[in-house]
């Protein structure tokens, strides 16, 4: 399979990849006026299944509402379109990218009567950080770029423009030989990765931060809360300092694309024994079993393409 889908769902219908185009003067190109989602589809014994499809499309609408982008398709329509797209592209494992954006009407900052356009595409993205990082742990660096405050952009949304902040952070990390970046807030507390929430584990307790730390309230993040408790452990939500981070037994990233990615090194500091943490790998295995349809109890989180 190539990296991009043969068909893209574009403004209400399936179209060939090469025909899914927007005008160069579209508002979104000039001002980043778009909202998007990242969703994963997994091959299971019951055929391809999309993880938490409805929750992602609901968040797409929530993000759009925050920027007064009126999506002309409801959640159910977008969910059915996504399933149709996976069937049409004949893919089993894939990454899905829905996006809603302002097209062309004006070049003024105010979008006025710019039409809202919507597309959904499938990609063969593989491991977001790297396959090696999923197994052996990632090397990350604290970025010199700070995370923007929620009173500058609503951090609980996935909007295109603010992701320039993440782009700067990950470009810097890659240029210095690291797998990923970690952004801090202006007060030097921990925010999140360039596209991931962060957890740490100390004395068998899981810790993560919340919206007061200017983070996206990730769907994977909330999923892990339930899984942590099912595995018999506790989690706490609180601000995370750099001291908390460097004294942790284990650290990991999570997200729809990153799934559960262990972190073995932060700058020159070795996390724990410098290998993927055992509890992190235990949680990762639980997560993979669920998204790959191996636990019937959690079929409620899967949208099977054959339905």
Band of residue 158 on the pLDDT scale cut at 50, 70, 90 = very high
**Whole-angstrom distance, CA of residue 192 vs CA of residue 206:** 16
* pLDDT at residue 124, rounded to an integer: 87
Average pLDDT value for residue range 125-133: 71
Residue 27 has pLDDT above 90, yes or no: yes
- Per-residue pLDDT tens digits for 175-221: 999 999 999 999 999 999 999 999 999 999 999 999 999 999 999 99
131-291 shares the fold of 7-123: no
Q: Could you say which of 40, 52, 83, 158 is catalytic?
A: 158
Q: What is the CA radius of gyration of the chain?
A: 19
* Average model confidence (pLDDT) across the chain: 95
Nearest alpha-carbon partner for 180 in 218, 242, 133, 217:
133
Confidence check: pLDDT of 36 > 80 = yes
Choose the weakest-confidence range: 93-102, 105-114, 132-141, 275-284: 132-141
Task: Answer yes or no: are the C-beta atoms of 98 and 77 closer than 8 Å.
Answer: no
Which pLDDT score, from 0 to 100, does residue 1 have?
42
Distance of CA 234 to the CA centre of its chain: 24
Instruction: Name every residue whose Cβ is closer than 8 Å to that of residue 238 and which is 6 or more positions away in sequence.
Output: 207, 209, 210
Q: pLDDT of 47-77, one tens digit each? A: 999 999 999 999 999 999 999 999 999 999 9
The predicted-structure confidence for 65-109, as pLDDT tens digits, reads as follows 999 999 999 999 999 999 999 999 999 999 999 999 999 999 999
Contacts of 254 (CB under 8 A, 6+ apart): 196, 197, 198, 199, 218, 220, 221, 224, 260, 261
Residue 158 designated active-site? yes
Tell me: pLDDT of 130 over 70: no
Domain ranges of the chain: 7-123, 131-291
The pLDDT value recorded for residue 133 is 78
What CATH number has the domain spanning 7-123? 3.30.470.10
153: confidence class by pLDDT, cuts 50, 70, 90: confident
pTM here?
Answer: 0.94
Percentage of the chain surpassing pLDDT 70?
97
pLDDT of residue 135: 83
CATH number of 131-291: 3.20.10.10
Q: What is the pLDDT of residue 131?
A: 72
């Amino acid at each position: 399979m190539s990296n991009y889908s043969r068909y893209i769902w574009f403004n209400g219908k399936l179209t060939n990849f090469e025909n899914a185009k927007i005008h160069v003067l579209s508002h979104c190109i000039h001002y980043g006026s778009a909202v998007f989602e990242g969703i994963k589809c997994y091959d299971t014994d019951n055929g391809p299944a999309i993880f938490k499809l409805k929750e992602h499309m609901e968040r797409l609408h929530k993000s759009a509402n925050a920027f007064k982008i009126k999506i002309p398709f409801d959640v159910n329509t977008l969910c059915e379109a996504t399933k149709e797209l996976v069937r049409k592209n004949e893919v089993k494992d894939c990454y899905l990218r829905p996006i809603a954006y302002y097209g062309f009407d004006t070049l003024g900052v105010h979008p006025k009567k710019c039409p809202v356009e919507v597309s959904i595409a499938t990609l063969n993205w593989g491991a977001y950080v790297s396959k090696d990082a999923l197994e052996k742990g990632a090397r990350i660096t604290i970025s010199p770029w700070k995370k923007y405050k929620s009173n500058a952009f609503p951090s609980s949304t996935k909007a295109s423009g603010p992701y320039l902040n993440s782009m700067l952070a990950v470009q810097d990390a890659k240029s210095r030989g690291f797998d990923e970046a970690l952004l801090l807030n202006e007060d030097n507390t921990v925010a999140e990765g360039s596209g991931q929430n962060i957890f740490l584990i100390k004395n068998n307790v899981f810790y993560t931060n919340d919206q007061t730390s200017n983070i996206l309230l990730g769907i994977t993040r909330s999923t892990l809360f339930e899984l942590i408790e099912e595995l018999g452990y506790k989690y706490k939500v609180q601000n995370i300092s750099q001291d908390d981070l460097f004294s942790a037994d284990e650290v990991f990233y999570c997200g729809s694309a990153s799934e559960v990615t262990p972190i073995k090194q932060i700058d020159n500091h070795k996390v724990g024994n410098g290998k993927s943490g055992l509890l992190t790998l235990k949680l990762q295995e639980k997560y993979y079993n669920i998204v790959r349809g191996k636990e019937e109890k959690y079929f409620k989180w899967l949208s099977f393409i054959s339905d």
